[in-house]
Amino acid sequence: MAQPRMKDMKDHIPEMFNDLETQRKLLNFRVEYNNGDGKQVNNYTDMNEALVLLDRLTDYGYGSDATILFYQCDELVKYYHNRTWKYPKKSMYELTH
């Protein structure tokens, strides 16, 4: 099997960095909420930390009067209102070009 040429590898390096930057943006999570104390905004780079906050705000599934918006990459993923999780009609994974 032929070894890749150095020039061919160098041509792909910018593509690899663009892909990494795109993937890094997927690690941007934001939780905006109002639980009676005014609007709060928390930013995370770890989805599990963001999900822990969502659990706490919804009283671990027992229900809460909080209004919560959950974003990934500045796109609304889901929101919580009237003790119910709701999802936007448009999927965040749809590509718009």
Nearest residue to 57 via CA among 77, 79, 73: 79
Does the structure show a pLDDT above 80 at 92? no
Beta carbons of 57 and 78 less than 8 angstroms apart: no
CA atoms lying within 13 Å on the CB side of residue 67 = 5
| Mean pLDDT, the chain, whole residue set | 82
Region 16-39: mean pLDDT is 81
Q: Between 93 and 42, where is the model more confident?
A: 42
CA–CA gap between residue 37 and residue 62 (Å, rounded): 20
- Going from N- to C-terminal start, the domains of the chain cover 6-86
Three-state SS sequence of 32-86: EEECCCCEEEEEECCHHHHHHHHHHHCHHHCCCCCEEEEEECCEEEEEEECCEEE
Does the structure show a pLDDT above 80 at 14? no
Region 31-58: mean pLDDT is 93
What pLDDT, on the 0 to 100 scale, is given for residue 97? 42
Region 70-79: mean pLDDT is 91
CA–CA gap between residue 31 and residue 69 (Å, rounded): 6
Does the structure show a pLDDT above 70 at 70? yes
Region 59-71: mean pLDDT is 91
